Structure 1
């Protein structure tokens, strides 16, 4: 990329010179044009000659000037350089290059057209081989591929493709099915669970998985942000190479749900033992796909031929990060076979004949920081803030992916068209009673919820409530100094893993909701959750029954204005009829290992 910029700078310095027209240029002139030493200029010239961008004949003897010939136009080198950067996964750098040097609209148009054609389905089909690849643009970065550190749903989806768990839970069907464990049993009071492992399950680095890996994977969670998953585990006992027993301190009727979570994925002990505080660049799991390349801009998932549940049908899935402010360059075409819309990009485009799927992915909500000494300790103020917002209008004005006013973590019935909680008259009365005196309240969030945050700022401003919107990156949002400083945080509580997602909001150290609860409310949450964990089995046969038992907890949070539910969020996908087995999973993405293309 640097060489491309050097060429464009050199071309700009000698702008009057045409291609294939030799002209005198000393090494000193080249060095001056590139703002470098003559020694570095000589190295740069050598590289450009190797690329066949220039011809260069050094002057021989005193007084003989060197001769330089441009062999390519600046636009050619610019376009080729930007394309190569995309292939390397450096999309942001490519778009920056085009924006800075591609002043001509024709160059920008050519690059935008090429970039759109770059994504989608690619195949090399011959009589004796068939290689198929799906390249997908995404508008959110990958933060981690370590199961123990997963916070965001997109990372969780990738983890589910790379790793496996002891058992799996199908949210749609509402049942468990075998994973790495082909069978399991428990004692009567649910304090001892035995799992029988499959033989021949191989990690991506070739070693067979054993019970020792299961023990290591579960115990490592004790020092992770998801320690709540294993806090009731007293002992993990290896019974044999293919047998493991989990003993609990107290009955936990939700253990199977916990063990099916992304974060409970099984990792190889020999690899992850060396990474207690960080993660390997290339994760190692047993999943249908293995990572073969990973940078900040690209993640390549290659089919794992030895996958114990059957090799996936696509040979390669390439995920390429597109910064949100660069979306203008990406023009979806008719050949775009899969578009997943989760809210970062604009409305889903009209692409002709396409199959569509939509589902509610979760609810957008606002936390109130009750750990911080501030005016928000006033219940009257928190109630006022809740009553002064018309969530129906918020959904209409902001549009997709906001769907309707929400009153719960999960959509139970058809959402109301009108916000039943909107009462500006009562809200203004409570605002006056609260003693609010114009203090500035800080609302923290990340780019995904930027529009939501500014909408709230504008609405509250109508009533004299000062809101400062503080935007930080996804990673920075988890830093304690931001969480502690924030008066509010907007985030989406996803329903990706059913009960486990709900419990994560209540118990995880990375949960914005829990991090803003006051001590009294936190103790109430822990007490209510403990009741559910120890409930008799007959009362917890279904997910819906368990969620019903957690409803008093949600009601308490809502009525005490510890949180404010805003809107349900909808995710959707559009895909070509030739793409088969497309199913939006509860975390908002598709299961790549089930995809295949019907070419004939």
Structure 2
């Protein structure tokens, strides 16, 4: 509201004047503060008096000094303005307003308390029709909802609500189930896959899904994301044919037992050809899929999803979901003040709150690790230097800095194996650092090492910089945007810091990670990776594939080419009034399944 901004301008013009303390001032001086006319200033003061913000006691004559008394603190007006912006669903402007103000620190907690009350479940009744709405906070920025271009967990979560694939994976990652395809078969060579589509599945814009849409979606993925997540899987597609509108045949270049698993990922979501063809060379198309919700609005950080009434697996209980994307710095612990959220991801819960909330510890996790760029000429081409780097890992220090009940030491991508390092058992830091070691072993004169990572992991990189500095190892940090991280820029670094999200698609994610790691491995490690990944593609038994991955991991650790840091389990908490909670392995709520009592 403009009148609030005028009041804030006036109030800030007299920072040393306390509320209820009169000041002597002329109307002309006030008009100069707002850069307005004498007449408009009179109207502004009248309006502010009506609001009860100030008292204006004028004296006759333009040169006479009148009396002005402020009643309301500028912090109160700022908070009211931010609240009104939120009610107009302009969350980002509200946050920017508070961040830009000099009073941001004092207002932050008050605004957060109020904002928490805006989230959760509510019913709206209009003309005897009940609309069930869930406002859902997400402490991430949504850059895109195109399945071919997503990079972050929040984006992936929303894509799962909007799109479907031919098949789906159960939450444990053990069984592939029918979805848009009700059945499938493969030939003896296991290179030709035939999928039979359900009839009557509708896209959000009202057209039936056809085999031609499946063909278009996979070919579009090859064209737009040739180096994207799981690109090795869809690059193996030689040809797609559609004998009729409900049959799709996919011919692979070579056999891959991982291909069907790839089709369960949201990268392989089916999009309508008639909508996305207009954006053939971009990922800016408005998201249209066959999923249980459709996107009906997106503005100022608020994404509005409405139930798709003709969803092929049945309409959801919720009518609308509003996903409010809060900046990451707005994330906070769950406490009494935040109870109205009703569903919260990635939270730590106190013992007192634990008694009042249902909790789910997710089966999935993220694991942070370092890999060595063995192709770069430098200290780390020497195996002895890599061992020094490994021994200098002070995991106790890292856990202290990242304390929480969801963080633990890791020494494997597979949890709860004998190779895991207990929290209390870590390798001690060496008394001499890699700088000395380089001089004596490899002849290097204490040159610095470069660590490449994405901006989201900058905090971890800084912790590693501090940790290694204690052992004389000097790190420079190179931040590369996530969408460019698989490019050539990281090849100039000595070390790569990254994380892998291990969910129901664990073996696909590990395969993808090892393919990426191959780009900066030495010749021996490249041969090791090629051999193991080849065996993995040909192995039909899931248990044997797991054993192959564990064996490969062990060999890379022995070479000090793969250095584990920690793993992070996240929790989802929800209020007992919520029914039908269904979570994927990373704890994200499937909106279609939930209802409230």
Q: Same-fold call, TM > 0.5?
A: yes
Using the size of structure 1 for normalisation, the TM-score is 0.82
* Larger CA deviation: 425-434 vs 85-94: 425-434
CA distance in 2, matches of 1:486, 1:173: 35
Q: Give the superposition deviation at 1:381.
A: 1.5
CA distance in 1, matches of 2:104, 2:395: 44
CA distance in 2, matches of 1:556, 1:138: 39
Matched, 1:587 2:586: yes
Alignment match of 1:275 (pick from 276, 279, 298): 279
User: Does the CA contact (< 8 Å) of 2:407 and 2:569 recur in 1?
Assistant: yes
Q: How does 1:360-375 map to 2 (within 5 A)?
A: 360-375=364-379
* Larger CA deviation: 83-92 vs 97-106: 97-106
The equivalent of 2:567 in structure 1 is 568
Q: Give the superposition deviation at 1:271.
A: 1.6
Q: How does 1:86-105 map to 2 (within 5 A)?
A: 86-87=86-87, 90-101=90-101, 103=103
Using the size of structure 2 for normalisation, the TM-score is 0.83
Q: Give the superposition deviation at 1:90.
A: 4.5
**Structure 1 residues 521 and 297: CA distance shift in structure 2, 3 A:** farther
Matched, 1:433 2:441: yes
Deviation sequence 1:122-164 (CA, Å, 0-9, x none): 2236894332222222222223311112233332222111100
The equivalent of 2:343 in structure 1 is 338
Q: Give the superposition deviation at 1:266.
A: 0.5
Q: Give the superposition deviation at 1:531.
A: 2.7
CA distance in 2, matches of 1:397, 1:13: 43
**Structure 1 residues 87 and 411: CA distance shift in structure 2, 3 A:** farther
SS in 1 for 2:97: helix
SS in 2 for 1:492: strand
**Structure 1 residues 219 and 79: CA distance shift in structure 2, 3 A:** same
Matched, 1:287 2:280: no
Q: How does 1:483-522 map to 2 (within 5 A)?
A: 483-496=490-503, 497-507=505-515, 511=516, 513-514=517-518, 516-518=520-522, 521-522=525-526
Matched, 1:176 2:179: no
Q: Give the superposition deviation at 1:264.
A: 0.5
CA distance in 1, matches of 2:331, 2:304: 21
User: Does the CA contact (< 8 Å) of 2:367 and 2:567 recur in 1?
Assistant: yes
User: Does the CA contact (< 8 Å) of 1:391 and 1:419 recur in 2?
Assistant: no
CA distance in 1, matches of 2:357, 2:13: 50
The equivalent of 2:533 in structure 1 is 529
Alignment match of 1:356 (pick from 342, 353, 359): 359
Matched, 1:467 2:475: yes
**Structure 1 residues 212 and 466: CA distance shift in structure 2, 3 A:** same
CA distance in 1, matches of 2:133, 2:349: 26
The equivalent of 1:322 in structure 2 is 326
User: Does the CA contact (< 8 Å) of 1:157 and 1:587 recur in 2?
Assistant: no
List alignment gaps of at least 5 residues for structure 2.
55-61
**Structure 1 residues 405 and 105: CA distance shift in structure 2, 3 A:** closer
CA distance in 2, matches of 1:419, 1:185: 50
* Larger CA deviation: 422-431 vs 91-100: 422-431
CA distance in 1, matches of 2:352, 2:132: 25
The equivalent of 1:442 in structure 2 is 450
User: Does the CA contact (< 8 Å) of 2:371 and 2:562 recur in 1?
Assistant: yes
**Structure 1 residues 561 and 104: CA distance shift in structure 2, 3 A:** closer
User: Does the CA contact (< 8 Å) of 2:396 and 2:426 recur in 1?
Assistant: no
**Structure 1 residues 548 and 151: CA distance shift in structure 2, 3 A:** farther
* Larger CA deviation: 134-143 vs 425-434: 425-434
CA distance in 1, matches of 2:457, 2:406: 11
User: Does the CA contact (< 8 Å) of 1:139 and 1:321 recur in 2?
Assistant: yes
User: Does the CA contact (< 8 Å) of 2:388 and 2:430 recur in 1?
Assistant: no
Q: Give the superposition deviation at 1:360.
A: 4.5
SS in 1 for 2:154: helix
User: Does the CA contact (< 8 Å) of 1:141 and 1:296 recur in 2?
Assistant: no
SS in 2 for 1:314: coil
User: Does the CA contact (< 8 Å) of 2:532 and 2:548 recur in 1?
Assistant: no
Q: Give the superposition deviation at 1:182.
A: 0.9
CA distance in 2, matches of 1:228, 1:388: 35
**Structure 1 residues 349 and 160: CA distance shift in structure 2, 3 A:** farther
**Structure 1 residues 525 and 272: CA distance shift in structure 2, 3 A:** farther
* Larger CA deviation: 132-141 vs 306-315: 132-141
Alignment match of 1:377 (pick from 353, 377, 381): 381
CA distance in 1, matches of 2:5, 2:213: 49
User: Does the CA contact (< 8 Å) of 2:26 and 2:63 recur in 1?
Assistant: no
CA distance in 2, matches of 1:167, 1:329: 36
The equivalent of 1:129 in structure 2 is 129
**Structure 1 residues 545 and 204: CA distance shift in structure 2, 3 A:** same
Q: Give the superposition deviation at 1:96.
A: 4.0
Matched, 1:407 2:411: yes
**Structure 1 residues 318 and 425: CA distance shift in structure 2, 3 A:** same
SS in 1 for 2:209: coil
The equivalent of 1:551 in structure 2 is 550
SS in 1 for 2:329: helix
SS in 2 for 1:334: helix
User: Does the CA contact (< 8 Å) of 1:406 and 1:568 recur in 2?
Assistant: yes
SS in 1 for 2:279: coil
Q: Give the superposition deviation at 1:469.
A: 3.8
User: Does the CA contact (< 8 Å) of 1:337 and 1:575 recur in 2?
Assistant: yes
Q: Give the superposition deviation at 1:287.
A: 0.5
CA distance in 1, matches of 2:405, 2:205: 40
CA distance in 1, matches of 2:463, 2:40: 56
User: Does the CA contact (< 8 Å) of 1:392 and 1:417 recur in 2?
Assistant: no
Deviation sequence 1:359-400 (CA, Å, 0-9, x none): 341311112233433322222222211111132553355223
CA distance in 2, matches of 1:371, 1:257: 32
List alignment gaps of at least 5 residues for structure 1.
56-62
Alignment match of 2:422 (pick from 409, 417, 420): 417
CA distance in 2, matches of 1:350, 1:434: 56
How many residues align structurally? 577
SS in 2 for 1:147: coil
